[in-house]
Amino acid sequence: MAGAAAAATAASTHAMRDASAAAAPPVYVFFNPEEAAFIEAAVERLIPADENGPGALEAGVPSFIDKQLSGAWGAGERLYRSGPWHEGAPTQGYQLPFTPAELFRHALRGIRDDFRQRGSQPFGKLAAQEQDAYLKSLETGKLELDGVPSKVFFESLLSMTIEGFFSDPVYGGNKDMVSWRMIGFPGAYANYYHTVDQHGMQFTRAPMSLSETGRGVIHIHPDIPAGQHAPPVKKGK
């Protein structure tokens, strides 16, 4: 009885937590409200909800981008940042002085000013078709957004949207592994030895996130040392 009661309580707590999570607006630490409104509307156009399942907004991609930009990646982790700065050829890759955080800040400011200048209502209030047309103009046009070529910003936004949609949920996007369920990617699961030669099989196992404990069969060899101070290995032939 006690067990059943506890289970019932746990279930209802769980349900309550789910409900409140669904209702609670995302907390942004990088984006200001105006920027967040643009990002939320834009990612939903880049990967919209449809009959196949949720889009980038519902998957939590804006939170993913917010976390990335407020952390080490946003600050220019692994980005060589010494000058001098030249535009260079397209084959030479990214050559702007901006960190990803700076790039987004400048570009979003530029977009805000662009809308103000044109006397248009903000991006988030436009019809879907108009939003798509604006995103297309960023992707292909020559607009400069407070020093950031709109193409470069669009490329960053699209690649971060795809990253957030398909990366492990521990990073804040791909909520409940929705994208993985949609395409049939099993995630961090680690062992297909017994299925790789079952050609064409339908793999139906639920996906696994990094946040779950290992469910795959992981073989740790007891005779192989982990480091310098481990015991000697067995001599073979």
Per CB under 8 A, contacts with other proteins among 181-220 are 182-193, 195-197, 199-203, 208-210, 212-214, 216-220
Structural tokens at position 224: 């192989």
Q: How far is the CB of 73 from other proteins (least distance, A)?
A: 7
Q: 59 near 164, Cβ under 8 Å?
A: yes
Size of the site for other proteins (CB under 8 A): 83
Q: 137 near 129, Cβ under 8 Å?
A: no
C-beta atoms surrounding 144 within 10 Å: 16
Q: 37 near 121, Cβ under 8 Å?
A: no
Q: How far is the CB of 115 from other proteins (least distance, A)?
A: 21
DSSP notation for 197-218: TSTT----PPPB-TTSPP-S--
Among the listed ranges 1-9, 11-19, 108-116, 179-187, the one in contact with other proteins (CB under 8 A) is 179-187
Helix (H, G, I), strand (E, B) or coil at 107: helix
Q: How far is the CB of 152 from other proteins (least distance, A)?
A: 12
String of contacts with other proteins for each residue 94-133, x by CB under 8 A: xx------------------------------------x-
| Residue 16 vs 133, nearer CB to other proteins | 133
| Residue 117 vs 211, nearer CB to other proteins | 211
Q: Does 61 bind other proteins (CB under 8 A)?
A: no
Distance CA 222, CA 134 (A): 59
Structural tokens at position 232: 């000697």
Q: Does 140 bind other proteins (CB under 8 A)?
A: no
Q: How far is the CB of 1 from other proteins (least distance, A)?
A: 37
